[in-house]
Structure 1
Amino acid sequence: MQWYFVAVLLTILTSSQGILTTLSQSNGGYKYDYATVPFLAEVFKLLVSSLLLWRECRKSPLPRMTTEWKSVRLYPIPSIIYLIHNNVQFATLTYVDTSTYQIMGNLKIVTTGILFRLFLRRKLSNLQWMAIVLLAVGTTTSQVKGCGEASCDSLFAAPIQGYMLGVLSACLSALAGVYTEFLMKKNNDSLYWQNVQLYTFGAIFNMSRLLLDDFRGGFENGAFWQRLFDGYSITTWLVVLNLGSTGLLVSWLMKYADNIVKVYSTSMAMLLTMVLSVYLFNFKPTMQLFLGIIICMMSLQMYFAPPSTLVDIPPAVKAAPESLREVSIERRTDS
């Protein structure tokens, strides 16, 4: 399976996440406990990966599976980073509004490129760095609202703590992605075995979060497993399947492509979501949206196209050396 096919599929699934989540609401709220959705998505990914690993183990030769503790102990780290990131996310939203948070979230595009270079030792050309910065500019441009709107004044009115937490959130998100890619590529283990380890710890951490919420609430509504599927509809199950399938595609890209491809997929998904919202939710398109789309498409072309297709440099023609002729000079002496 080619990486660009997976990237396009990831873009489509990611863009539909927000739409499905919005459609799963009822009267502007959720009838279900939205904290159960990530937990069920982790369980779904774990079951699918276990099934695929079982099928792979029935073939010969057996897939490579490292079971040493010094290797397995590295897999909880992404879950811990995401857990910290989620808490920082909520803390950031106490200082800034949603629009400002979304714009600051685009910093993870640049931070991913920096961590990609520092930790994975992957060298990017100057043109690729320009493309990454241009992608961040394009996504930010598409999210900036017109200055005639009330929210325009709030863009730079947040306390300094909000901006610091927003930068920290972007760095944590990029760090989790880069570290996951490091895990997926550090050896030749089976992708499904690596997924089983990742999603086992992911399910454990999400279950711990649900138990912690029950303890804080004094088990007023009972244990989470007693109300796990309360309020679930067909749309809610589609959200779970979408979230789980997206995670499986991301792990594939981490194994056989890289984080930058994932960043482009998610950025294009955000733009696609905004375009689809025009038809589904009567979202009014803005000039900033169209300008952001144009900038992002330019960035996509710059990053993945070979430099020779972007700049028409005529081939250097070496001038043929002129043939040398021997010239005889007669010297005459007058007697």
Structure 2
Amino acid sequence: MGSTNWGELFPGRWSFVIFITYMALFVNQGIIVTWSQTKGHYEYNTVIVVLATEILKLIVSAILYCYKNKPVELAHEIIHHKNVLLLYMIPSILYCLYNNLAFVNLAEFDPTTYYILLQFRVVVTGIIFQLVFKKYLSMKQWISLFILTIGCMVKHIHISQNSENFETNFHININIIFIVIQVICSCLAGVYNEYLLKGKGANINIFLQNIFMYFDSIICNIIAFVILINVPNSFAIQFNNNNHHSIFTQPKIILIMINNAAVGIITSFFLKNLNSILKTFASALELVFTAILCWIIFHIPIYSNTIISIAMVSYAVVLYSQNPVINIKPEKDIEEEENLV
């Protein structure tokens, strides 16, 4: 096995910092959301929290853009790139579903199990990555993806002390379907968003692209809120309650919004400087730290299969790093794409 080329895996000066920050924020999110629950339920309207978070992201992105640019330039750029604004509606719809379902699924599963179930997006992301960017993965990379997937499945199996008992630690229910929807949304949105960041939006200020994303996301979440308040309570699944007026006075909810806003900002830097395949492996490493922190904070036990899973996932990351995918388009290709628009 060849040596790891860290210069290619983390091409920019800040790439590794972005990678670590991205993982830390995502681990925090699962733990804080679980911490905010009361006996597996939310004493606040989760859709409003997601909507408020998107508004916060939009404000932060606008401030960061105007830090080096005049506000009038912002209005001019929005009009000039209105077609890109419309293109961002697609990932915005997907992220709207993903973010709202995250609250639903974290009420059903502990953070470790939740992140493990999300790891089944690995193969889906790899396939979409090839179709969109025409960057075919090597056999070594496919092997690493396979090992990572098996490692996640091993963590998902619970082996009791009685060797005759062999069972999985979940049962098929509506939340498994929600997890599948989340996986699909995550894969499609992540790769499509990367395509916009490095394709049609390659020459657009990254904060302006964030503004496009969050503006569209606000519209999507407003629509989601209107729809969900009009559905029967049996189908609302924790979206509806009467305590939404006090969410901005609860420290836990404020922490969720701030952390989630930071996740959104750092994700755009991640996709701009790295790629969605490495993003998938970052998510895999998150379950390692999540398991440890959940054991410390929530006293969720770590079984032998968890240790085996961590070992397999870690090996898969090292194997993948032998031949990372660099997905930065040459300026000539970008210019040719723009001429076609």
Of the three residues 202, 209, 214, the one matched with 2:224 is 209
So what's the TM-score if we normalise by structure 1?
0.75
User: What's the counterpart of residue 92 of structure 2?
Assistant: 79
Alpha-carbon deviation of 1:213? 2.7
Aligned positions of 1:1-335 closer than 5 A? 1-58=13-70, 65=77, 67-83=80-96, 105-146=118-159, 153=167, 158=172, 169-186=182-199, 187-216=202-231, 227-230=244-247, 232-305=249-322
- Superposed CA deviations along residues 272-300 of structure 1, whole A, max 9, x for unmatched, are 11111111111111011111111111111
Deviation readout 1:288-333 (Å, 9 max, x if unpaired): 11111111111111111369xxxxxxxxxxxxxxxxxxxxxxxxxx
Query: Residues 299 and 240 from structure 1, CA distance in 2 versus in 1: closer, same or farther, beyond 3 angstroms?
Result: same
1: CA distance, partners of 2:241 / 2:172: 36
Report if the CA contact (8 A) 2:44-2:241 is conserved.
Answer: no
State the identity as a percent. Answer: 25
The answer to which of 50-59 and 275-284 deviates more is 50-59
Tell me the distance in 2 between the aligned counterparts of 1:234 and 1:242: 12
Q: Is the 8 A contact 1:185 1:255 kept in 2?
A: yes
Counterparts in 2 of 1:163 and 1:15: CA distance versus 1, 3 Å: closer
Secondary structure of 2:46's aligned partner: coil
Structure 1 match to 2:335: none
Gaps of 5+ in 2: 1-12, 234-239, 325-341
Task: Structure 1: give runs of 5+ residues left out of the alignment.
Answer: 308-335
The amino acid that maps onto 1:53 is Y
Q: Which AA in structure 2 matches 1:250?
A: T
The one-letter code matched in structure 1 to 2:195 is F
* 1:13-71 Cα shifts (integer Å, max 9, x gaps): 11111211122223543222122221121111111110011112159x99x94724433
Shift of 1:214: 3.0
Q: SS state of the match for residue 145, structure 1? A: strand
How far apart are the structure 2 equivalents of 1:204 and 1:269?
30
Q: 1:100 to 1:193 in 2, by over 3 A?
A: closer
RMSD: 3.9
Q: 1:137 to 1:43 in 2, by over 3 A?
A: same
Q: 3-state DSSP class of the match of 1:50? A: helix
CA contact (8 A) 2:247 2:253 kept: no
Return the letter of the residue paired with 1:48: V
Q: Within 1, Cα distance between the matches of 2:292 and 2:243?
A: 39
The letter of the residue matching 1:80 is: I
Contact map agreement 1:139 1:296 (CA 8 A) in 2: yes
Greater helix share, structure number: 2
Aligned-residue offset at 1:175: 1.1
Q: d(CA) in 1 for partners of 2:15 and 2:315?
A: 20
Call closer, same or farther: CA 1:275–1:143 in 2, change over 3 Å.
Answer: farther
Secondary structure of the 1:283 match is: coil
1:107 corresponds to which letter in structure 2? F
Q: Aligned partners of 2:100, 2:41: CA distance in 1, in Å?
A: 22
